[in-house]
Structure 1
């Protein structure tokens, strides 16, 4: 049976574009699969702790790690993982980095030769919101440390994320971006259209 794991990371509970577009994917996915399972985790409202020295020592000693087991079980149970990821300072929210540090363990790593692993077949959809534009060919494209990083870490698990970017989300807020308001609206509308298409696939 289909199972969606939906993770939000935006610090904004109101007016968050990544939450808005991610919710559109989740709604379309659930409409297309009324019998599917849905698990939601909000890393802003209920953050997981960063891996600290005590947790690392427990991991290295192969001790009991209830949180790690729970987070890994959620990922293994899902056939689709949806991440809502705003861009903060060219990268990820620290809450998402903390979550990744708990689940990026050898148990889930893909075989380096075959690319196959425990999570083979799992779909990963990443919905991002960016205040400016980081598309190829733009001046800030080299500063996108969000998509390349997520491609790299999920690649360790043998997974290939699909990205949906809503860009120029600060065009209505910052005066120097006001000239891009129409592009921002088009990007947001396009993100909604793409997530509906992906959710139905």
Structure 2
């Protein structure tokens, strides 16, 4: 029996499916934080490359930055490098777009009201959680974003975060070692 005050699962199968989705959400959050850590690493590499030997100075300025601040800082400091050509800058710009999109997805999911049952509007027989993100615009109604969430959709986000992580590590290699070209490293197959 479901209580109207406290959420309860209908049965063990329902609980198992809901827990799989929640575990997937946890994996995604961890994967996204790894992307943030790697953005910090790239920023450190750029500053070291440009002659800043005291990495503590960089850490003080960016360690508390959230994803958007890290993305903006990475883009800004990279664009100031004089030895990067337009192809290099375009590759980094595309990478930053992917990070921005992933960050938006993370925010939609993390700051949403979650429904883990089968009785919301348009629910089907297959288990899909529903994340409702409160609306920030007055012309869209109460909820601006309705996100159906499955274990597979979360696995897709984790895969995207992993690909971005690989690209950021390649960028860090380019910033750390002479002879590596950003455009070439970021355009290699994953």
| TM-score of the pair, normalised by structure 2 | 0.28
Using CA pairs under 8 Å that are at least 6 residues apart, name the structure with larger relative contact order, 1 or 2.
2
TM-score, normalised on structure 1?
A: 0.27
Q: Kindly indicate which of the two structures has a greater share of residues assigned to helix.
A: 2
